[in-house]
Amino acid sequence: MKPRVKPQESGSDELFRSKLKNIINLRHELVRLSELIDWARLETHFASYYSEWGRPGVPVRLVMGLHLLKHIEGLSDEAVCARWERDPYMQYFCGEEYFQRFKKKARNNYFDCVMGRPGLVVAFRDLLFYAFRLP
């Protein structure tokens, strides 16, 4: 099933949680890269891989973000998920608004199995395009 639509900015504050953008350095390379990538275009591109039926899917940005971080940092599936759990910059890169204390029920190899090599090519082409445009 297609993932639930999650706005990037909810506009509402929670009493006991701080937004990630208020506690991280907004000039960090992952923050800057996340703002340059056209996530909406990638979500549109990969929408055909999701069904209308079944349980809600894992958000494209989370799956894509984990997969890109895995290759950028040279980590295994397990290592990138473990690091995502404690790294606010990785969470922000993957589209989280608030710091998540518990690991998402997302298998990182989902991208490998379902979207495969063509999806990876599209993701890295965009990543390289935006990375070389950084000032």
pLDDT in tens, 71-98: 889 998 888 888 999 999 999 999 999 9
Q: What is the pTM of this model?
A: 0.74
Average pLDDT value over all residues in the chain: 77
Please indicate, yes or no, if residue 119 is contained in any of the structural domains: yes
Angle between the N-to-C axes of helices 77-86 and 60-73, in degrees from 0 to 180, rounded to the nearest 10: 110
Q: Which two tokens stand for residue 45?
A: 């591109």
**Residue (of 29, 20, 15) closest to 95 by Cα position:** 20
Summarize pLDDT for 113-130 with one digit per residue, the tens. 555 566 666 666 766 665
Q: Give the angle subtended at the CA of 22 by the CAs of 19 and 23, to the nearest 5°.
A: 95
Domain hosting residue 78, numbered range: 25-47+57-131
pLDDT at 126: 67
Q: Which two tokens stand for residue 91?
A: 């969470």
Task: Give the total number of structural domains in the chain.
Answer: 1
Q: Which two tokens stand for residue 99?
A: 């710091």
